[in-house]
Structure 1
Amino acid sequence: MAGLEGDDPPEAEDRADPHGDPFLRTRFAVPARPVTFLRRERLTRHLDQALRTPLTMINGAPGAGKTLLVADWVAHRDGLPVAWLTTDAAGDGPGMFWAYLLRALRGVGVPLPADTGVPADANRVSPALPARLAAELTARERPVVVVLDEFDRVTAPEIAEQLEFVLHHAGPGLRLVLVTRTEPLLPLHRYRLAGELTEIRGAELAFTPDEAAELMELHGLRLPPTASRALVERTRGWAAGLRLCALAAGQSPDPEAYLKEFEADRSAIADFLLGEVLKRQDAQTQDLLLRVSVLDRFSPGLANAVTGRDDAEAVLARLSRGNAFVEHLGHGLYRLHPLFAEILRAHLRMRRPGLEPGLHRRAAEWLRRSGFLSEALGHGAAAGDWEFTAGALVDDLAIGQFFTGLRSDAVAELFSRMGRESTGPAPELVRAAGRLARCELDGGLAHLRRAQHELMEYDGTSDEAAARLSCALLEALAARLTGAPARAEDAARAAERLREAVPDDLLERHPELTALLLDHLGSTRLWAGHFEKARAALSTVADSAPGAATALPREDSLGRLALIDYLNGWLGRAEHKAREALRETERFGLPRPSGSGVERLVLAAVAVDRDELGQAQALLDTLADTHPAMRDPVLRAGRALTTARLHLARGDPGAALKAVEPEVPADVVSPWARGGTTLVAAAAHLIEGREETAAGLLLDVPDEQVACAVGAARIQLATGRAAAAVRLLDRVRPEGRAGPAVTVRAALVRAQAADEAGDGVSARGLVVRALEEARRERLRRPFREAGPWIRPYLGTAWPHWLTTGRLAPGAGPPRRRHEPPPPVYEELSGRERDVLRRLALTMSTQEIAADLYVSVNTVKTHLKSVYRKLSVNRRNEAVRRARDLDLL
């Protein structure tokens, strides 16, 4: 009967297919590998598992290297029968498919009896054929490997069902390898669950940078590692893209430059992707791909908004399953392969000129409505609609992104492209924020005033409340930069009123705005000398929930709280807060140095008081004059004072005077800055013998600042006014009001006054008390400055903690023959102390590295630094020296 198997003699099927045409022998041929083919062992090792599982699937995009990978693997399977069949592009019917598959099996020596049958109808096959074939394969002692290349062209469900039947019943006699662009119709989940499926997908097929470099070498190109990584990043390791790039680069006079800068839309890559991917889709799908090419990553909802259709979800899912260079990222998000997107955008501009800005605008509007502000800003800028883009930033209460968080540089760069033609409150506020972020005060204030003037024309509705609150933030920042506490207080009160008109969810979404406002307010209060009020505002920021958006204001607030502690004489507290401030931005991966740097200033000031002068200088060097934050009067005054005190400690009064000579510009005078500057100048004049000049300056020292009053008392004592010095101390009573850096100096002034009055007992008691207080803070500077009078009260041997710094001339006791080596000039870091403690336990370098979770090289670096600072050359010498100095 026509159409049934077995009507023709067996030899007939060797000559013709069911249509009566000769078999196309190219469909049975294993593809040849080019001379530049790179064998990748990691993939072939994985593919070896195909011999242990019934089903293997190599699934990837066009040009991913699937076919050549399997062809290379087959070429190395000596003695194993491998039947190769490339499916028909037209889509075989069941009869045609099985006729070719049976011919492929016989062609590699698999004996199939005559009763297996031969399909005579190209579109159907008897159920007996799969059953007979499965039975024959089951009886084999060795399996036969069947490779079906381009299996994505098999679209008939009955073929997949018949093939799965054979695979299931053939048992170990058959190993099926499918090479496909799409997910096959077979029940993969069952094989996967049973552990009977070997899978190699697109991500694994992608070339690594090392493999890409090897491939380039096969093409005669040698690339440095950075160039290989960049090429893989751009191509996502796509095999065909890399090969096409290599071929084109080989024709270029500068191959490396070509690979770095090639235009994808003008290369063979474009021809490949347009021909193999885009043109295989229907017209509507092509239109969708062209339109979504303007998006980096997108959901079906965004794709619908950009394309004006409602079926994007199904289309994108189909394209992703079909490896059409549409990647599913999970969570309902997709993206195009970067080269494909680049080519599509160029194609879009050619086919639909002028459409791209409108697509960006649609995307921006949808993203803004959906709460994706950063993406909305990018598309608004790409559309050239700056009124929309600036309005989105301001209305979302996100103006603080100019000053903090991981996006500050990106936001500043994005709006740097905004032209002058954009008008309105929002663009002016954005311009003001950009200028003030760079501490360009005049330009920032000019734009801020224009924005405020335009806002006056509104009727006070909640629509512009976010803009007015943004104005308050920028006013507070301007007040901070100009040292204007009253203006900062006005801005804070205005912000408090406006908060009620702003939706709560906006404030919750942008905690950086409140944090920045309070940080600016606290800074101006600190400048004005209102330490407790400043502490209240700054502590609110420092105690807020950690987050990347608020990391910089938290760092700055902690640094300024540290400065308040320092000015009040609490060195330990100041150091702790300053180091906590340094860790704040590190924990969120923000670049270093970041923020204002006030915490490094505090650490430098503490180092001066501890006589760690090298460390102090290194910290001060990080506060560059060109840093925008140096417009901050608190930072400028603090740096000038610390630098001057460092010069005094080094015995250079002229340099100290020069350091405090330029007056810090500000709307109001800071009492602690003025008092500190006056005391430095007085001390410098005193060192140079101008006692009357020094005494005359004390009239400008404010008594309400306890630390300044104690410094003034010391100057009075040095100029022969001991009684006046003691009366000043009795009036301000620093004990109980200030920390050891102040009370120790006060005790030493009283001790020197008692010594001059002949009351040695009182003087000794005061010195002992000062030593006890200073030891806890490692406070050395006051004793270095004290002069020869203190020597008898310290005895013949100074405490070790006091001699771990450089002694001022004449201040310390004379060296004796058996004294320990010279004192340490630089303080050991915390990590160096950790290494030193483990060194004392006789741990090896490797053991120390393992215990501290660092590399051996890092430990060796720390050891070299310890040896240098302790002036030793060996481990045992370092331990002995550290014990002599009470470091262990």
Structure 2
Amino acid sequence: MNTPLLQTKFYIPVTRSNPADGLRTSFVPRLRLIERLNQGLVGKLTLISAPAGFGKTTLVSHWLDQVNLPVAWLSLDKYDSDLARFLRYLIAALQTIQPAVGTETLALLQSSPIPPHHTLLTLLINDLTAIENKSILVLDDYHLLDTDTIDQALTYFVDNLPPTLHLVITSRTDPNLPLARLRANRQMSELRSADLRFTPTEAAQFLTQMTGLTLSPAEVEALDRRTEGWIAGLQMAALSLGQRESQAVAQFVEAFSGSHHYIMDYLVDEVLQQQSAETQTFLLYTSILNRLCGPLCEALLQGVEARDVDRATAPISDGPNAQEILANLEQANLFINPIDHQRRWYRYHPLFADLLRYRLQLTYPHQLPQLHLSASQWYEQTGLTDLAVQHALAAQDFDRVAALVEQVASAMIQRSELTILLTWLDLVPDEAIQVRPLLGLYYSWGLFLSGQIKAAATRLQAIETQLETDGTLKSSEAQAHAAAMRAYLMRETGDLASTISLSQQALAYLPKQDTLLEAMVALNLAIAHYLQGEFEPAAQQLTHIIATGQTAQLMANTLAAIFLNAQLLRAQGNLQQALRLCQEGLALVARYGWHNFPAVGFLYVVLGDLYREQNALTPAAEYLHKGIALGQTGGHPHILIAGYVWLAWLHQTQGDVNGSQEAIRAALQIEQQYAVSRFWPLPSAECYQARLWIAQGDLTAANRWVQAQRWSRADTPIAYLDEAAYLTLARLQIAEENFESAEASLRRLSQAAVAAKRNGSLIEILILQAITFTARKRSREALSALMQALDLAEPEAFVRIFLDEGRPMIDLLRQAVAQGVHTTYTLPLLNALGEATTAAQPLVEPLSEREMEVLRRVAAGYSNKEIAEELIVTISTVKRHISNIYGKLEAGSRTQAVVKARELKLL
């Protein structure tokens, strides 16, 4: 559900400068200010900062009438303080002058959590560079926003604005932007109250136009001096003067003094007393509205009349309709301005509205709830639910607030509008939420997704108890959300079995249309299965997520699923399938234009590590760095941890010890900063740091890590979640020449990997077993283990898993070559390890694989008969092979052949 945007926020207020419209004009040409605004277009920003009543908005709208440039206008209110909401309105405003801008940013705003502001705004600013002609963006009433997040976002926006877009801000107070820097760099022009005050000449012209009276220079000077050129004060004085006889003017001017607040307080009384009872009622009742139109005003007035709360006020229904009243108020210059050219929508001057609301509170406080309730009902009927919620809150009708928020909460969570959602729900008493368990669950989700895990768990617990004790509150949707929320919390604690069962419950209850929750539950279920080493059910969920999640709303889940599935396939030994999956992911990114989305970092970092495994180190580095950059822009700890861990190992591969240590420290810092749960499918930074210590010879540090771990009993199976730690332990045992313990550890690891068909894990285990057997002088077992590893690895083109073992692997691979085992695979591995394999067989005619088999047996002391029996050939065939070997090696006997073969590193 997409909550519609309030279109009147994009309307440029209509000016009153054209006498042909039949209205008495109060327009005073302010050429000096218009010229300054024109001059300011050369910079990035124009700031118009002054208290209420100085004509900021009116000046800008008059100026825009004259500049003949494309204009995007956004009238702000306090609810725009939510970054996601602010950016949606900002983009919609900009789309009035450039319809194509912001589409990628809007798509990113569908992700949860939303990326940092600089990621979002970078995309938007890149789009804005397509604007060829000078254009203007106006943010009106910026002082109503109250959040550092938007100040920071706007600072980034201003700093990087393309030269074709000029920003204008109107505000009662200075915004929290780097004004001093902008001013020093001549990138900002500004108008303040001293600039906006009417000069005596302007004041005289204004008063004459407003009143139709000819005031003496002394009277004009007195009013101008006492208001200090304050336009709102002069306008209110003019309204009061317009109803007086000429002889009363001097008396009024003489009595007119005091502060701005006192003047306005006094003049509102004066002006209201001059209006009919009907108009006074209309003004007071409709003052609760930020924007007014006839149907909305009538809904308010009819709502009050229907309740017959106070018949002392004059009824409205028997007079002109509300739209006519609005037009009459405009004609009377009564602090009301049209927003659109059709004059359907209006707004009161903010200062006048404040004073009217103050009067309403004093005079008819009992009417306020009904007025706000009527406004809420009208906005709900017109589909503007967020405004309906605001007026329901003002009416303190919390049952209505709860009902309205329940309708839009899911969409708000999808759009990451968590700040405003939690603000609303924090204001609602628990009693109103308790009768709506689904709303309480949305509240819990909002808390969880904003990082308030304990608060989310507490609220969920209360809802679960409530659903258990009161069956009337149960619904399949509520049960689905409760189970899904609890499943996420259980994974945080490491209870994976409960995570799986609860996720399955949630999927069973879930309404089909809730695709986002389904994807979230499916991913959580897949992660739990994966961490338990249950790859088949995990793969089923991941495949479903990837197949059905090709929308911007589900994009983050889809890319996380590719990240996880690629790791799963690699652990199974299916390296080529993992690479194909990532290539399909890249095609998906290209097709939908997701290149700059932070979640694409998931795809890049796992692809980088897959390339590293294939020894394609240049693309590996490129993808890892790209993924880390996206993880940084998105503030995504999981991407960053995986990226930095794998980058550390890449640096180690390249011999860059300092680089590897720096990268692993970055991963550890992020783990600590974000308190990342270990129950997420990530490479453990601590475990990889220990492995790096071992590779770099710091066994003391590695031992400290081992001592800090909790190891399972030797007679229990090793869980997949602990596999990496046990592999690291085995490596340390080998490095310390504790081969008996290493063999025991590897035996347990092998049993678990074989049982779960994790061939990728098994390749590494077999390699370490081969190294261990070699160290224990058990060459046959060593070669057997290596051959099994090669059997699994060659079809998938694993490379670094062998090369990373260094010198021990060189000796093992030589034996494999000598035995003629996978020579097309092992010789390139030796080459990559730096062996001069081109000199390993410098023969005019190399030995065939069968000749190598015969030679190995000759070296082992086999007789011709024994060789024939083992190779299942005739003795004459064996003799022929030996003759060929003699000729190729230029040897005259078995002994010479073996010696020459060893010199050539064939044995």
- TM-score, normalised to structure 1's length? 0.50
Match of 2:865 in 1: none
Q: 1:720 aligns with which of 762, 773, 776?
A: 773
CA contact (8 A) 1:291 1:348 kept: yes
Change (3 A) 1:720 1:376: farther
Change (3 A) 1:472 1:387: farther
What secondary structure does 1:709 align onto? helix
Match of 2:666 in 1: 621
- The answer to whether 1:519 aligns with 2:519 is no
Match of 2:58 in 1: 64
Match of 2:449 in 1: 437
- After alignment, is 470-479 or 758-767 more displaced? 758-767
Match of 2:466 in 1: 454
How far apart, in 1, do the equivalents of 2:25 and 2:446 lie?
A: 67
How far apart, in 1, do the equivalents of 2:139 and 2:454 lie?
A: 56
Q: 2:739 aligns with which of 682, 691, 700?
A: 691
How far apart, in 2, do the equivalents of 1:665 and 1:393 lie?
A: 49
What secondary structure does 1:64 align onto? helix
Aligned amino acid, residue 418 of structure 2: S
- The answer to whether 1:410 aligns with 2:456 is no
CA shift, 1:270, in A, is: 5.8
Change (3 A) 1:349 1:537: farther
- The answer to whether 1:584 aligns with 2:624 is no
How far apart, in 2, do the equivalents of 1:31 and 1:298 lie?
A: 26
CA contact (8 A) 1:394 1:466 kept: no
What secondary structure does 2:533 align onto? coil
Identical aligned pairs, as a percentage?
Answer: 18
Match of 1:51 in 2: none
- The answer to whether 1:634 aligns with 2:680 is yes
Q: 1:477 aligns with which of 488, 491, 495?
A: 488
Q: 1:528 aligns with which of 528, 532, 535?
A: 532
Aligned amino acid, residue 58 of structure 2: A
CA contact (8 A) 1:387 1:427 kept: no
- The answer to whether 1:466 aligns with 2:508 is no
CA contact (8 A) 1:481 1:631 kept: yes
Per-residue deviation, residues 176-231 of structure 1 (Å, max 9, x unmatched)? xxxxxxxxxxxxxxxxxxxxxxxxx99899999999999999xxxx9775999999
CA contact (8 A) 1:675 1:700 kept: no
CA shift, 1:474, in A, is: 0.7
How far apart, in 2, do the equivalents of 1:249 and 1:728 lie?
A: 95
Match of 2:640 in 1: 600
Change (3 A) 1:42 1:496: same
CA contact (8 A) 1:698 1:712 kept: yes
Aligned amino acid, residue 633 of structure 1: F
CA shift, 1:530, in A, is: 2.9
- The answer to whether 1:678 aligns with 2:678 is no
Match of 2:761 in 1: 708
Change (3 A) 1:479 1:720: same
Aligned amino acid, residue 603 of structure 1: G
Per-residue deviation, residues 614-665 of structure 1 (Å, max 9, x unmatched)? 3895487266235557135125664444444454555444545656776699
Where does 1:344-355 land on structure 2 (aligned, <5 Å)? Answer: 345-353=357-365
CA contact (8 A) 1:399 1:430 kept: yes
Match of 1:494 in 2: 505
Change (3 A) 1:419 1:603: same
Per-residue deviation, residues 675-713 of structure 1 (Å, max 9, x unmatched)? 111111222333344434433322442223223222222
How far apart, in 2, do the equivalents of 1:364 and 1:683 lie?
A: 68
How far apart, in 2, do the equivalents of 1:625 and 1:771 lie?
A: 37
> Could you say which structure has the greater relative contact order, defined with CA pairs below 8 angstroms and 6 or more residues apart?
2
What secondary structure does 1:600 align onto? helix
CA contact (8 A) 2:507 2:518 kept: no
Aligned amino acid, residue 535 of structure 1: A
CA shift, 1:520, in A, is: 1.6
How far apart, in 1, do the equivalents of 2:342 and 2:661 lie?
A: 51
Aligned amino acid, residue 725 of structure 2: T
How far apart, in 2, do the equivalents of 1:656 and 1:578 lie?
A: 37
CA shift, 1:477, in A, is: 1.6
CA contact (8 A) 1:566 1:602 kept: no
How far apart, in 2, do the equivalents of 1:628 and 1:584 lie?
A: 21
How far apart, in 2, do the equivalents of 1:299 and 1:720 lie?
A: 87
CA shift, 1:338, in A, is: 5.6
How far apart, in 1, do the equivalents of 2:551 and 2:271 lie?
A: 44
Where does 1:215-226 land on structure 2 (aligned, <5 Å)? Answer: 225=182
Residues matched between the structures, number: 581
Match of 1:753 in 2: 812
CA shift, 1:455, in A, is: 2.0
What secondary structure does 1:634 align onto? coil
Match of 1:166 in 2: none
How far apart, in 2, do the equivalents of 1:659 and 1:331 lie?
A: 74
How far apart, in 2, do the equivalents of 1:271 and 1:381 lie?
A: 28
CA contact (8 A) 2:285 2:300 kept: yes
How far apart, in 1, do the equivalents of 2:761 and 2:634 lie?
A: 31
What secondary structure does 1:454 align onto? helix
How far apart, in 1, do the equivalents of 2:547 and 2:517 lie?
A: 15
Where does 1:559-578 land on structure 2 (aligned, <5 Å)? Answer: 559-565=563-569, 567=571, 570=575
How far apart, in 2, do the equivalents of 1:64 and 1:689 lie?
A: 84
Q: 1:734 aligns with which of 782, 792, 795?
A: 792
CA shift, 1:285, in A, is: 5.8
How far apart, in 1, do the equivalents of 2:322 and 2:582 lie?
A: 58
What secondary structure does 1:630 align onto? coil
CA contact (8 A) 2:138 2:168 kept: no
How far apart, in 1, do the equivalents of 2:170 and 2:387 lie?
A: 35
CA contact (8 A) 2:529 2:538 kept: yes
Change (3 A) 1:698 1:544: same
Change (3 A) 1:658 1:406: farther
Change (3 A) 1:32 1:426: closer
Match of 1:791 in 2: 835
Change (3 A) 1:395 1:747: same
- The answer to whether 1:766 aligns with 2:777 is no
- Structure 1: gaps (5+ residues): 1-26, 46-59, 74-200, 252-264, 773-779, 784-789, 797-888
Per-residue deviation, residues 551-573 of structure 1 (Å, max 9, x unmatched)? 54345334434443554564856
How far apart, in 1, do the equivalents of 2:342 and 2:460 lie?
A: 43
How far apart, in 1, do the equivalents of 2:300 and 2:728 lie?
A: 66
How far apart, in 1, do the equivalents of 2:432 and 2:300 lie?
A: 25
Change (3 A) 1:410 1:567: farther
CA shift, 1:539, in A, is: 4.1
CA contact (8 A) 1:273 1:340 kept: no
What secondary structure does 2:670 align onto? coil
What secondary structure does 1:631 align onto? coil
Per-residue deviation, residues 813-849 of structure 1 (Å, max 9, x unmatched)? xxxxxxxxxxxxxxxxxxxxxxxxxxxxxxxxxxxxx
